[in-house]
Amino acid sequence: MAEVRENHPRMGGKKLYYLLKEQLVKQGIKLGRDALFDLLAANNLLIHRRKRKAITTFSRHKFRKYPNLIKDLAPLRPNQVWVADITYWFTEAGCLYISLLTDAYSHRIMGFAVAETLATVHSRRALEMALHQISKRAGRHLIHHNDRGIQYCSQEYLAPLAAWHVQVSMTENSDPLENPVAERINGILKQEYLSHQPVRSVEEAQQHLERAVFLYNYKRPHLSCNYQSPDEAHRSWGPLERRWKNYYKPPVANEPKDSTFRTTTETVNAGPDYH
């Protein structure tokens, strides 16, 4: 059992039940979702969250900060909004940093890079990987959204966006809740695919990240994609049925700041397995 845990990607119980349900029925096995959760819990197979954190965003810089263009925008097609973020990854080789570009409509990871530093060149590598999957004509209809980190505001990073005529959008307060899709993908990759992998070098980290992105994009059913994989949703261009309740409520006058709202991301993250 330990060998299975270490060498295979982890997946939330709801996704696992969705993938196994048909086979269970064919074999005459009666096992509901709650029973599966109990079985996973009894064998210590539920995903455990790690609480170590590292600061990846520095927004107190002199570079221009762009307005938020997606504040009230719900993406209706692929390559309409991409969200960018950098997350940390604690490994045996030290703290590494992962740069990601994700399509906000399909949740497909479009570009990625891993490195030992937060240098802009690594975020740019992820960006260039993503841009080379679309035409410059498509770029004219694309918004790139990020958290105002110094990497994303530098001319080194903005130059490729200008070349593809991509609009630039940024959060207003460097608040993770203003970039929830990016934050969600960060958690999924680390909790389900990367946190349990032995990594002794950046080269090994790159291999594990490439495999994780492949499994996430092509194999993992996603609630926000109507249980399609992100790649299927990206190629389908069909309407996506949202399978969770939205618990957002507008701020109320004189209400404490830390209880003004609960986002969809917070709701999905509430349990041990709602990925």
Q: What is the mean pLDDT of residues 57-84?
A: 83
Structure tokens at 224: 């926000």
Residues 155 and 70 in one domain: yes
* Residue-number span of the structural domain to which 275 is assigned: 246-275
Over the stretch 16-48, which tens digit does the pLDDT of each residue have? 665 666 776 777 776 665 666 566 666 665 555
Query: What's the CA gap between 64 and 177, in Å, rounded?
Result: 21
Residues 168 and 213 in one domain: yes
Residues 164 and 115 in one domain: yes
Query: What's the CA gap between 186 and 99, in Å, rounded?
Result: 9
The predicted pLDDT at position 6 comes to 44
Residues 109 and 161 in one domain: yes
Residues 190 and 258 in one domain: no
**CATH number of the CATH domain containing 233:** 3.30.420.10
Residues 254 and 239 in one domain: no
| Cβ-defined contacts of 131-134 (< 8 Å, 24+) | 131/160, 131/164, 131/166, 134/79, 134/164
Residues paired with residue 145 on neighbouring β-strands, in sequence order: 83, 169
DSSP annotation of 51 reads -
Question: 6 in helix, strand or coil?
Answer: helix
Residues 67 and 197 in one domain: yes
Residues 232 and 261 in one domain: no
Residues 55 and 169 in one domain: yes
The predicted pLDDT at position 155 comes to 94
DSSP annotation of 50 reads P
Over the stretch 216-256, which tens digit does the pLDDT of each residue have? 999 999 888 888 999 999 998 777 776 544 433 444 444 44
Residues 216 and 270 in one domain: no
pTM of the model: 0.69
Residues paired with residue 144 on neighbouring β-strands, in sequence order: 82, 168
Residues 189 and 69 in one domain: yes
The predicted pLDDT at position 28 comes to 72
Residues 42 and 139 in one domain: no
Number of domains in the chain: 3
